[in-house]
């Protein structure tokens, strides 16, 4: 497949499954900006009617302008389809005219997946398999599928990570069964201010006067913004080879430092509650077993596929020294404060919500 690396989505129909989620909303906004080219159509596919309605209203009659393009008719450019990735027929229908698919639909809350593991299987494994089956059985001319994964898929210890790890392998093997489509994945850690993440929880606890709950004082997390998560998706679309998984190179922090930075000078206590079911102390984005088949690509690492049929022997592998873990290069407290300030995520007492958080959601 010969893609224009600078404008790879020119004239393309892009389907975003789970498009009303935190990542999906920012991804759609960035797609509409034209930075990846001028799409022919963007379809938001999700099962949440209320979120679709809110998103539709937010874009209704809006004019989005860039240096090169002006979109005035969102009725044609941006479309919304109710459906569930678990439903093969709904998936096959929405993909009929698609060129690029970003699979952001997921069950991603760790405790929820522990209590309802088969629900996670249906969304995180059956959903991706439905995308592959629709392409294979209907001869769909889809160029690229990007599977959105998680650090928890690396050395998984919880149901969410296990199902996402299988999603990665399902998409990898699809490069052999659907040779005319490129299947790639992106894998990243904690996204700042996304729904269900720790920062909105800390914000709420601080506004209520505390206490701020910390699972363990040793815990570390990679920190990246939703914009950086979308950057990773775009980098994979531009440059990932078949079966590869793209990893962003981002800073990490101790969760206690994040809490301390957000609390600031307020007299608010912190309470250690213990690790939740299936939770990890440190995030790992590349394991020791994956390090020997990983390469550096600018601001990203690319993990080459485990299947030898998909290896590109022409590219030398610059073996990483070991696993890529959030425990490796942890930011200082001052660096954490600077990052949260830069992302406009510090708690302000004069507003209902810290500036910028609503956009990030």
Q: Which residues are catalytic?
A: 152
DSSP string, 83-131: --TT-HHHHHHHTTT-SEEEE------HHHHHHSHHHHHIIIIIHHHHH
φ, ψ at 67 (rounded to 5°): -65, -30
13-17 and 41-46 beta bridge pairing: parallel
Please say whether the beta carbons of 303 and 149 come within 8 A.
no
The CA-atom distances, in angstroms, between 90 and each of 75, 83, 96, 160, 312 are 21, 6, 10, 24, 35
Please say whether the beta carbons of 320 and 291 come within 8 A.
yes
Q: Which H or E run contains 294?
A: strand 294-297
Tokens representing residue 346 in the block: 């510090």
Stated length of the chain = 361
CA-nearest of 56, 48, 40 to 17 is: 48
Tokens representing residue 65 in the block: 């302008």
Provide the 3-class DSSP secondary structure of residue 71: strand
Rounded Cα distance between 193 and 181, Å, is: 33
Please say whether the beta carbons of 321 and 186 come within 8 A.
no
Rounded Cα distance between 259 and 263, Å, is: 6
Those residues whose C-beta lies under 8 Å from the C-beta of residue 29, and which sit 6 or more positions away, are none
Tokens representing residue 57 in the block: 């209203």
CA of residue 217 relative to chain centroid, distance: 26
């Amino acid at each position: 497949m010969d893609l224009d690396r600078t404008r790879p989505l020119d004239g393309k129909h892009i389907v975003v499954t789970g498009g009303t989620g935190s990542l999906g909303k920012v991804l759609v906004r960035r797609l509409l900006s034209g930075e990846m080219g001028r799409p022919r159509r963007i379809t938001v596919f999700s099962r949440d009617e209320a979120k679709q309605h809110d998103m539709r209203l937010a874009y209704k009659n809006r004019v989005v302008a860039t240096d090169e393009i002006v979109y005035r008719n969102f009725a044609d450019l941006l479309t919304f389809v109710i459906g569930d990735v678990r439903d093969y027929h709904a998936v096959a229908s929405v993909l009929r005219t698609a060129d690029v698919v970003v699979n952001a639909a997921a069950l991603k809350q760790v405790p929820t997946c522990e209590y309802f593991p088969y629900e996670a299987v249906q969304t995180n494994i059956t959903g991706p398999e439905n995308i592959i089956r629709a392409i294979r059985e209907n001869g769909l001319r889809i160029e690229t599928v990007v599977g959105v994964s998680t650090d928890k898929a690396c050395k998984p210890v919880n149901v969410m990570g296990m199902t996402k790890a299988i999603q990665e392998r399902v998409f990898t093997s699809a490069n052999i069964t659907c040779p005319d489509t490129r299947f790639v994945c992106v894998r990243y850690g904690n996204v700042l201010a996304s729904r269900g993440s720790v920062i909105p929880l800390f914000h709420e606890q601080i506004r209520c006067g505390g206490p701020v709950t910390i699972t363990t004082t040793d815990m570390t997390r990679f920190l990246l913004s939703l914009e950086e998560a979308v950057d990773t998706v775009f980098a994979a679309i531009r440059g990932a080879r078949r079966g590869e998984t793209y990893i962003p190179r981002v800073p990490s922090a101790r969760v206690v430092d994040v809490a301390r930075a957000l609390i600031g000078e307020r007299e608010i206590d912190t309470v250690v509650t213990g690790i939740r079911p299936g939770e990890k102390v440190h995030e790992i984005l590349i394991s020791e077993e994956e390090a020997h088949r990983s390469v550096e690509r600018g601001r990203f690492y690319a993990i080459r596929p485990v299947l030898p049929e998909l290896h590109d022997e022409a590219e030398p592998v610059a073996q990483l020294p070991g696993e890529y873990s959030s425990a490796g290069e942890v930011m200082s407290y001052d660096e954490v404060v600077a990052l949260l300030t830069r992302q406009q995520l510090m708690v302000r007492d004069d507003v209902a919500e810290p500036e910028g958080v609503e956009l990030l959601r």
